[in-house]
Each structure stands twice: as structure tokens, then as C-alpha cells.
Amino acid sequence: MVEMQGRTLGDSGIGVGALGFGCWAIGGEWQRPDGNPLGWGAVDDDESVDAIRRALELGITFFDTADVYGTGHSEKILGRALRGHRDEVVLATKWGNLFDEATRTADGQDATPGHARRALTASLRRLGTEYVDLYQLHISDAPLDAAAELRDACEEFVREGLIRAYAWSTDDPERAALFAPGEHCAAVQHTCNVLQDAPEMLELCAEHGLASVVRSPLAMGLLARDPGAGADAGTGWTRGSGDIRTVPPVWLHWFGEGGLPVPEQAARVAAVRDLLTSGGRTLAQGALAWLWARSPHAVPIPGIRSVAQAEENAGALRYGPLGEGEMKEIAALLAATAG
């Protein structure tokens, strides 16, 4: 076993561990205007608080949320859980989406600097803090000209002491490259996992010395819980009515209607399961180990909503990254499955 080394968010001097805590799920149920879910189902707020505090005990100090998660609820729970621990943690949140807290409905986006300031003020209040460590644009396809203005606005927020650094949450390398040269740009948040590699984005992070904050490191659960053997792998998966995976949006590649894994994706998991779980790792721990082997800049932020999940994910740190041989075998198996 190899103990994982920490990370720094770009050249900001902000130190984090190699593993973060994703706070989307603890936001609870919220929805699109058409009533389709955007959350991960109902949550127990006390359990969420316990999970956050257990993660902190286990050395996880980087917590990533967004104002829109649970239409403000995730930020409130995170602030509640970390009260009295602000100096021990690194807080990241995001802005750009519009929502109604009363109806728990998200509707529309706003890419103006004025909204960025209003959103930041509201996030600071919900989180119970005077500053955010990493502030991230949450409109993945924002126009480049608007994003340039938002980058400048973030620099102003740094000067005012409201944030320490900023980033863009996007899967488009061209857009990430627009933020990258910013003096206080410290990271890119993007999707990457065993089933969906992101070589261009990882290369960009390496070139600019940015942290790669990896969302969906466990493919929204497909790499966290064994769905069963073979391509027909829906057995044992149940979804509540408030779970986004029951009515997946077009960008959610791993699940189909009803929350069942897409057979082709489940088959790919089955092909590499033995390698990912080698050495005593769980499936989730192997998926995290794959990411650490892919890039020394990677800081995966798996969604956590229970003490058990916090303990399992933190346990991956004891194993460290997969070896070069294991990575090559996994790549060959995935290529064969795709063929």
C-alpha cells in the first residue's frame, strides 16, 4: 500500500488531499421545471452532517458543492456541519444556475458579472463563511466572451477577499483554456472516470499546472456498487422518484430510463472489475485508484451521503494509485469491449 500525497490547487498555495467530498447528493430532492428530478432522492440531513464530519476525521478536507444543489440546501448543510472547523477545510462552490428555493426548482442560467456577485453573496451566507476557497463557473457551455468577463469578475472577488481562487466546471478544453491563464485560476472541474477518460483536459491541467477536480469519478454510482454480472446488469438497483438517474438527462451516459445501467456500460465495468478490485480494494476504491494513476493533478470528488460511503472512499487513500501494468491491462480490456 502507498499513502497518497496531497495536492495543491494550481499555484494558489491552497493545499488539499488527493480526495474530496462531493456535496450534490446531500442537497436532497430538487427538480427541473418539468418536474423531472435533479437530485439523488430524499436525504437525512443529520446523516449528511455525520458523513461530512466523519470525512473530516478521516482526513478529507476539500468539500465541493454548488448553490443550485438542492436549491441552496447543500450549502446550508455543509455550513452547518463545518461550523467551528472553517480553518481546517477548503470550500468550493459554483454559480451560474438560477433557482427558486421555495419550490426547489432550477430554471435558467445567468452568465453576467452582476449575477456572479449576487450568487457569491448568497453562497457565503448559506455556507456561514466570509470567503470561498474555490469559486467555479457552473455553466459548462457559457459563451467565451461572457466567460472572459466572469474571469475578470473573479479576479475582482479575489482582490476583495471574497474568494481565494476560481475555476470553470466544464468538459470543453477550449473553454477551460480561456480561464487557465487567469492569475488566480487554480483548477478545472471536469468529468473523468474509468468509463469516460478525459485526456485533453488532463493534458491542459498538466500544461497550466492546474488541479483537475474530477466530478463523476464513480460514473454516478456505476463504479461504486456492483450492479450484477454481464451486460444485463440492472438487477438489484432501485431508484426513488426523486433520483436523477430514474429520468436521466441526455448528458448522463451511464443509466437509462428507470435508473437501470446501460447494458454496454455495465459490460465495460464487468470487464475490468477484477483488476479494479485487486489487492483488496472495493470497486469504488479501484475506480479512484485509476484516476490517481491517470494524473498526479487529479482530485476526485465522489458524491458522499453516508458515514459508510465516507469511510469506504477515504479507505482508497491507503492503497494509492493503480500500477502501470494494471492501467495497461484495463486500457486493453476497455478497448476490446468497445470493439
Domains by residue range for the chain, with CATH: 7-227+295-319 (3.20.20.100)
Cβ neighbors of 156 (< 8 A, separation 6 or more) are none
pLDDT given at position 59: 96
Residue 45: how many CB atoms within 10 A of its CB? 14
pLDDT given at position 232: 38
pLDDT given at position 25: 97
Please report where in the chains the cell 475582482 appears, as a residue: 156
Cα distances from 118 to residues 115, 143, 240, 311, in angstroms, run 5, 20, 34, 36
pLDDT given at position 29: 97
pLDDT given at position 258: 83
Sign of the alpha-carbon dihedral angle for 59, 65, 70, 72: positive
Rounded CA gap, 190 and 13, in Å? 21
pLDDT tens digit string along 123-168? 999 999 999 999 999 999 999 999 999 999 999 999 999 999 999 9
Q: Could you tell me the pLDDT band of residue 230, with boundaries at 50, 70 and 90?
A: very low
| Nearest in space to 53 (alpha carbons), one of 92, 26, 72 | 26
pLDDT given at position 226: 53
- DSSP-assigned beta bridge partners for residue 190: 214
Listed in order, strand segments (DSSP E) in the chain are 7-8, 15-16, 20-22, 62-64, 90-95, 97-100, 105-109, 132-137, 163-169, 185-191, 211-215, 298-300
Q: Could you tell me the pLDDT band of residue 229, with boundaries at 50, 70 and 90?
A: very low
Cα distances from 161 to residues 130, 148, 158, 178, in angstroms, run 8, 20, 5, 23
Q: Is the pLDDT of residue 227 over 60?
A: no
Average pLDDT (190-195) is 98
Average pLDDT (197-208) is 98
Q: Is the pLDDT of residue 254 over 90?
A: yes
Contact call for residues 14 and 165 (beta carbons, < 8 A): yes
pLDDT tens digit string along 74-123? 999 999 999 999 999 999 999 999 999 999 999 999 999 999 999 999 99
- In terms of DSSP H, where are the helices of 5-105? 45-57, 73-81
Amino acid identity, position 330: I
- Kind and range of the H or E run holding 100: strand 97-100
